[in-house]
Structure formats: structure tokens, C-alpha cells
Chains A and B, each alone.
Chain A
């Protein structure tokens, strides 16, 4: 079992829908949780990060962490065609020597 599990999709939803993307993890030492967006033939770019359980909102994006279930989510409201990309969850411990562990990414298509 990999440390971080993420459904690769693809996930296709109509424009304007709410999108839910999820990851599960097995390492209870993970404390720092991130979501990256990666457009085709581009490098990943950081969308959001959270330190603890709960919700964090930034515009149309909400990141949610449930440490008791080892489950994180990213919600996208009012989805737009420009949101079509691969979304990677990533996480690490608070140990400064530890690496970021990425999920395999979920391919998202927003249909106009």
C-alpha cells in the first residue's frame, strides 16, 4: 500500500458543478497537506496548504483535512473549463528533513 492514495480519474463534470477530489493516507505523522494543480505539459503549482484538521477556503477552493480518518479533500465550487487539469494531493511530516509525498493525481475535465 502506498503512503498516499488518490483516484487517478478521469473525472468529468459539467461547468458550474461542485467538484470533490480526495486522497487517503496511511502515515499518521503527516501534518502538512497540500494541493497542487498541474496543467498538461507544465509543472505543478501550489493551490492550497493546511497544517491541521478542518477547512480552509480560498475563493472557489476549499481544502478539508480529517486526520482521524486520514482523509483530505479539495472542493471546487462553480467549476470552470479553465479548472481542467490534474490535481495532485501532497503531504509531509513536520520534520524538516522529510520529503513531500505526492498522490498520483486526479485528471479533471470540466465540460462547457
Chain B
């Protein structure tokens, strides 16, 4: 079946612009995660949803970052007033349920954001 999809795959924004990144998780996956991966680094956790509830947003770097998942499926990560340091790949992952440690997170291909 289809995996996690993300759009757009690439986004170039001028500093100060707002951007919205979309994630379509695997159908039926309850848990959804957003990560930020800077060049040459591993993914770093941003936020986590279980269905429509945002249970953990401790990794969001500033109040310019906002995520939502209003119907418990598609999620959007919004970055307001983008800064150059926001340039990174934004990865979305989904899993059946974040319960114990046996679930596998399936990652999308990421959205590569470049802020000029």
C-alpha cells in the first residue's frame, strides 16, 4: 500500500514568509510525528500527535512553529516568518500506535525547505 507522503517535496521561501508543509500518513496510523533534519545531522523530534490530539510539542523550536491534525489523519506543519536557520528537511513519520516500543515509525520522503 501507499507509504507516508509529504508535499511539497521542495520549498524555497524568502525570509519572513510563512510556509505550510503537508503530511499524509499511512491510512489507519494513529500516531504521527514531525522531525527536523538539518544538513549532516540526524532527525530531531518536533511534535507528536495521537489521532487529532497533539500530545507533545516540546521539540518545536519557537512559537513560529505550529502543527495541526484536525481530523486525525492529514497533518500540517506551519512555520511563520521563516528565518534562514529554519532551512532543513522536515520529515513526517507515522505508526500504528505509540504504545510500548514495538511500533515502527514509517517515514515520508521529507520536505526540503530553503529559506533565502
Query: How many residues in A have their beta carbons less than 8 Å from beta carbons of B?
Result: 24
CB-defined contacts of B45 to chain A, threshold 8 Å: 99-100
- Contact flags (1/0) for B40-68 with A, using CB distance below 8 Å? 11111100100000001001000000000
Pair A32/B107 contact, Cβ less than 8 Å: no
CB-defined contacts of B99 to chain A, threshold 8 Å: 96
A88 vs B98: C-alpha distance in the bound complex, in angstroms? Answer: 21
Query: How many residues in B have their beta carbons less than 8 Å from beta carbons of A?
Result: 24
B41, B42, B99, B105 — which one has the most chain A CB atoms within 10 A of its CB?
B42
- Contact flags (1/0) for B84-116 with A, using CB distance below 8 Å? 000000010100001111001111111010000
B4 interface residue per 8 A CB criterion: yes
CB-defined contacts of B100 to chain A, threshold 8 Å: 94, 96
B76 → A minimal CB distance (Å): 18
CB-defined contacts of A54 to chain B, threshold 8 Å: none
Binding site for B on A (CB under 8 A): 4, 6, 8, 31-32, 41-46, 51, 88, 90, 92, 94, 96-97, 99-100, 102-105
Q: List 24 A-B contacts (CB under 8 A).
A: A31-B101, A32-B101, A42-B109, A43-B4, A43-B93, A43-B107, A43-B108, A43-B110, A45-B106, A45-B107, A90-B42, A92-B101, A94-B100, A96-B101, A99-B48, A99-B59, A100-B105, A102-B42, A103-B42, A104-B40, A104-B41, A104-B42, A105-B40, A105-B42
